[in-house]
């Protein structure tokens, strides 16, 4: 096999396309297939830096890990990073090329990107046995079909068979499958090979009559029913974008080693980016991670994290409006731990000059760290390696802000003053030795009898999650049929489901 392919589409956003794509990649690589993930256009604030210094969606980096290949810009040639005023930063082949409104993007720019996107897919297909592509949103967004470069547009150009994933936990999955198919033009319907039910709870025999009727109505089969599985929401694109009230990052069930747990409160700032930075904390036995938006929710927190954001100045205003800025200042005065990451680090500084991101000019920050930040037009994209708290640390940087550190103790190219830490490095907490040392410092400052587990390996836990995704595909999907789709394309003679669309 060489150059096979499959597009995983969804009836809605968050139907499970990312994790299903990762699961198929992990299942295939176990079979000895050289496989790569691909998403032509991604909209997400959760991004990653490849070894070549390119910024891509973190979901594609996770899928590359599932496929056991190094992530590259080819796997996500267009990344849109939402900002203020209904605009997004357009990242092409890992580098920002400008800001654009949704109207401007869909009005013409998107079509100019189609050829480079298709070229990236073809390059991957030329060097891999199979490429598993992920769509975006729904392929039946008929208002956007003319300019589509990520769903049926790329499927039709590359003759990719399409499997549509539906989240049955939300309800209405049969209507979603039928409606998605019936709203596509005949040429697009030819590529819709069938369906995959995601997040099913209960007795699958109760579902089978509906699947049979769906087959009778559409002429298309269902390739599997994946059961609901906890703890697999890894590296989502927009998994926290609605309401953060009470949201807790899922963690291992193991009890704490010491007498106490550690409570971590993450400020749910606007345009939050790379919220997955705290997943490594949630993976520690006895660490509870919660996203918050009220000052009283910081009262019992042993550590407060101010995370990255695509809008540092907007986040600053939000922190002040909510009363969180004052609560952070009180914590700093009381020597209670605070960690700022990237945009959060910038917000903890003294002063910001921003003529790039918000164009707000001079803005006073929270004054908790001796740092002055100037926003540069050139984005810093890096994979730094260093040392902190006596441990080796790896991370990645994605920021326009340039930090001028004027005091404090050095900390991962940022600084520390008392119990307040700040760094531009994302992903640092995934370094196991450093994370344990940091948590010991937090526990000591908080007066908690918390003991980090000596053997927690975030990398191992991530591999176990990816293996579970592969297991879901292997055990609950018709893998023989999926492999035939990858090798041979969509079945011939699939019936048209009216009314269709132009």
287 token code pair: 């660490």
Q: CA angle at residue 88 from 154 to 289, to 5 degrees?
A: 100
Q: Active site residue: 399, 400, 424, 426, which one?
A: 426
Q: Are 232 and 468 in contact (CB under 8 A)?
A: yes
Q: Are 263 and 299 in contact (CB under 8 A)?
A: no
Torsion angles phi and psi, residue 289, rounded to 5: -110, 125
Q: Active site residue: 342, 400, 424, 476, which one?
A: 342
Query: Rounded to a whole number, what is the largest CA-CA distance in the chain?
Result: 71
Question: Which residues have C-beta within 8 Å of that of residue 248, sequence separation ≥ 6?
Answer: 288, 289, 290, 291
Q: Packing angle between helix 479-488 and helix 458-476, nearest 10 degrees? A: 90
**CA–CA gap between residue 129 and residue 285 (Å, rounded):** 40
Question: Which residues have C-beta within 8 Å of that of residue 453, sequence separation ≥ 6?
Answer: 254, 257, 284, 285, 286, 436
Strands (E) across 28-161 are located at 35-38, 41-43, 47-49, 55-57, 78-82, 87-92, 95-101, 130-134
- Which residues are 265's β-sheet partners? 290, 304
Helix H or strand E encompassing 376: strand 371-382
Checking 485-491 for CB contacts under 8 A at 24+ apart, the result is 485/6, 485/161, 485/163, 485/193, 486/1, 486/4, 486/5, 486/6, 486/28, 486/130, 486/132, 486/161, 487/1, 487/4, 489/159, 489/160, 489/161, 490/161, 490/162, 490/190, 490/191, 490/192, 490/193, 491/193
SS3 2: coil
Q: Which residue has 């587990």 as its token pair?
A: 453
Question: Which residues have C-beta within 8 Å of that of residue 295, sequence separation ≥ 6?
Answer: 322, 323, 324, 326, 327
426 annotated active-site: yes
Sign of CA dihedral 318, 320, 322, 324: positive
Q: Give me the DSSP letters along 220-235.
A: -EEEEEEEP-TT---S
342 annotated active-site: yes
**CA–CA gap between residue 355 and residue 126 (Å, rounded):** 43
Shortest CA distance to 72 belongs to which of 29, 105, 39, 44? Answer: 39
**Active site amino acids:** 342, 426
């Amino acid at each position: 096999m060489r150059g096979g392919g499959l597009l995983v589409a969804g009836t809605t956003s968050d139907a499970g396309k990312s994790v299903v794509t990762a699961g198929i990649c992990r299942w295939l690589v176990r079979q000895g297939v050289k496989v790569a993930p691909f998403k032509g256009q991604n909209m997400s604030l959760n991004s990653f830096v490849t070894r070549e210094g390119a910024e891509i969606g973190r979901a594609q980096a996770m899928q590359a890990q599932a496929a056991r290949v190094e992530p590259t810009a080819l796997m996500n040639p267009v990344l849109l990073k939402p900002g203020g005023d209904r605009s997004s930063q357009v990242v092409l082949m890992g580098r920002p090329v400008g800001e654009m409104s949704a109207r401007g993007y869909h009005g013409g720019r998107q079509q100019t990107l189609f050829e480079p996107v298709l070229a990236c897919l073809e390059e991957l297909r030329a060097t891999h046995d199979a490429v598993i592509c992920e769509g975006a949103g729904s392929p039946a967004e008929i208002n956007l079909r003319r300019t589509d470069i990520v769903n049926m547009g790329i499927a039709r150009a590359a003759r990719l068979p399409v499997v549509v994933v539906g989240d049955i936990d939300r309800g209405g999955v049969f209507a979603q499958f039928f409606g998605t198919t019936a709203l596509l033009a005949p040429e697009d319907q030819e590529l819709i090979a069938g369906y995959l039910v995601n997040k099913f709870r209960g007795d699958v025999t109760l579902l089978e009559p509906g699947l049979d009727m769906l087959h009778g109505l559409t002429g298309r089969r269902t390739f599997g029913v994946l059961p609901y599985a906890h703890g697999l929401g890894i590296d989502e694109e927009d998994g926290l974008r609605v309401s953060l009230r009470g949201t807790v990052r899922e963690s291992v069930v193991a009890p704490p080693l010491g007498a106490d747990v550690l409570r971590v409160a993450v400020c749910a700032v606007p345009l939050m980016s790379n919220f997955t930075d705290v997943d490594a904390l949630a993976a520690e036995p006895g660490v509870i991670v919660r996203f918050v938006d009220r000052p009283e929710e910081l009262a019992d927190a042993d550590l407060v994290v101010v995370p990255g954001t695509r809008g540092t100045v907007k986040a600053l205003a939000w922190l002040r409006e909510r009363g969180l800025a004052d609560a952070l200042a009180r914590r700093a005065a009381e020597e209670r731990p605070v960690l700022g990451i990237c945009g959060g680090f910038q917000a903890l500084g003294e002063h910001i000059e921003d003529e790039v991101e918000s164009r707000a000019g001079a803005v006073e920050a929270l004054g908790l760290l001796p740092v002055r930040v100037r926003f540069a037009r050139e984005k810093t994209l890096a994979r730094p390696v260093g040392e902190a708290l006596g441990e080796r640390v790896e991370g990645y940087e994605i920021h326009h802000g340039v930090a001028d550190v004027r005091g404090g103790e050095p900390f991962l190219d940022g600084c520390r003053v008392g119990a307040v830490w700040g760094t531009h490095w994302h992903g640092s907490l995934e370094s196991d030795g450093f994370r344990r040392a940091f948590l010991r410092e937090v526990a000591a400052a908080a007066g908690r009898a918390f003991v980090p587990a000596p053997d927690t390996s975030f990398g191992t836990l991530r591999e176990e999650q990816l293996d579970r995704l592969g297991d879901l595909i292997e055990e609950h999907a018709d893998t023989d049929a999926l492999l035939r789709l990858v090798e041979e394309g969509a079945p011939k003679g699939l019936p048209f489901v009216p009314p269709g669309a132009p």
